[in-house]
Amino acid sequence: MNLYRGCTHGCIYCDSRSRCYQMNHAFEDIEVKQNAPELLERALRSKRKKCMIGTGAMCDPYMHCEEELGLTRRCLEIIDRYGFGLAIQTKSNRILRDLELLKRINIQAKCVVQMTLTTYDEGLCRILEPCVSTTRERFEALEIFRDNGIPTVVWLSPFLPFINDTEENLRGILDYCVRAGVYGIISFGIGMTLREGSREYFYQALDRHFPGLRERYHQKYGYAYEIPSDNNRRLMRIFHEQCRKHGIVSDAEQVFAYLREFPENKGYEQLSLF
C-alpha cells in the first residue's frame, strides 16, 4: 500500500520523480490517499488468511506530513487490530514514534522494518539526502529496533558513480549493518538508475554540488537507464564476503521471501490495496 504520492525528503537520485509515474505537479506537493484506512480495514475484514502487508516501496510512509496527518499510524493500528503482519520501509527515524505499535504487531504476528542506507559520510549524506534522517540516525534507529526484538532489513542503494561508490563508503555502511544485527541486506549491484524526470533533477543537483560531474556522466553513460559503477565487481565481492562472515543474508530473493512469509502461513497470499 502507498498512502502518499510524492516526497519531501529531497534525495537527489530519487527514481520516483521519473515521468513514467505521471506526477503532473511538483513532486514535493504530496497527494494523500485520505480514505486509505477505510480501504485497508475493508480489505482486512474480508481476508480469510492473514498475510504480510508492505508499505514504503514507492513512497516513504514517514514523510514530514505524517507528523500532522498520522495516516501511517492509523493504518498500523488497523493492521495491529486485525492481527496481520507488516513489512515497512523508510529512510526516516520518525518511525520510532510508532515503536510500541510496531512491537505489538511483531509480538502477535510479524513486523520487519526496512531502512535504506546509501552514504556513510554524514556531510555527503546531507547533500544526497538533504531533508531526511542521516545515515547515522537511521543506524541508531536500527539499533533500537534490534534492542526491541524487531527484525530489520537494509536496502543498500543507490551508489552514485564518482560520488559514493567507494570501498570506504561500503565498509562503513556494512559495519553499521553488522552492529545493528540486521537480518539481511538487499543490493542489486553498485550503481544507480536514471530516466526522464529523475535524470534532469539529478543533473541539476550535480551542477549545484559537484561542478563538472554532469559532463562525466554524459560522456560515460549518455542517456542510459542503468548507470553501473566501474567499482561494481570489486565492491560486490566485498559485500558478499562481509555478509557471509557476519551471518547476514545477502541473497535478495531469500530476503524477499522472508519479508513475504507470514508465521504459520507459508503459502503467502499477497494483499493488493491500491
For each of the chain's 274 residues, which pLDDT tens digit applies? 889 999 999 999 999 999 888 888 899 999 999 999 999 999 999 988 999 999 998 889 999 999 999 999 999 999 999 999 999 999 999 999 999 999 999 999 999 999 999 999 999 999 999 999 999 999 999 999 999 999 999 999 999 999 999 999 999 999 999 999 999 999 999 999 999 999 999 999 999 999 999 999 999 999 999 999 999 999 999 999 999 999 999 999 999 999 999 997 533 444 444 4
Topology classification of domain 4-260:
TIM Barrel (3.20.20)
C-alpha closest to that of 118 among 128, 109, 110: 128
Record the cell numbers describing residue 92, joined without a space.
526516516
Query: Could you report how far apart the first and last alpha carbons of the chain are, in Å?
Result: 6
Burial string for 213-232 (b: 16+ CB within 10 Å, else e) reads: beeebeeebeeeeebbbebe
Which amino acid, residue 132?
V
For the full predicted model, state whether its pTM sits above 0.75: yes
CA gap 261, 184 in Å, rounded: 14
CA gap 128, 99 in Å, rounded: 27
Label residue 172 exposed, middle or buried (CB < 10 Å: 0-12, 13-18, 19+).
middle
In the chain, DSSP finds a helix count (H) and a strand count (E) of 11, 9
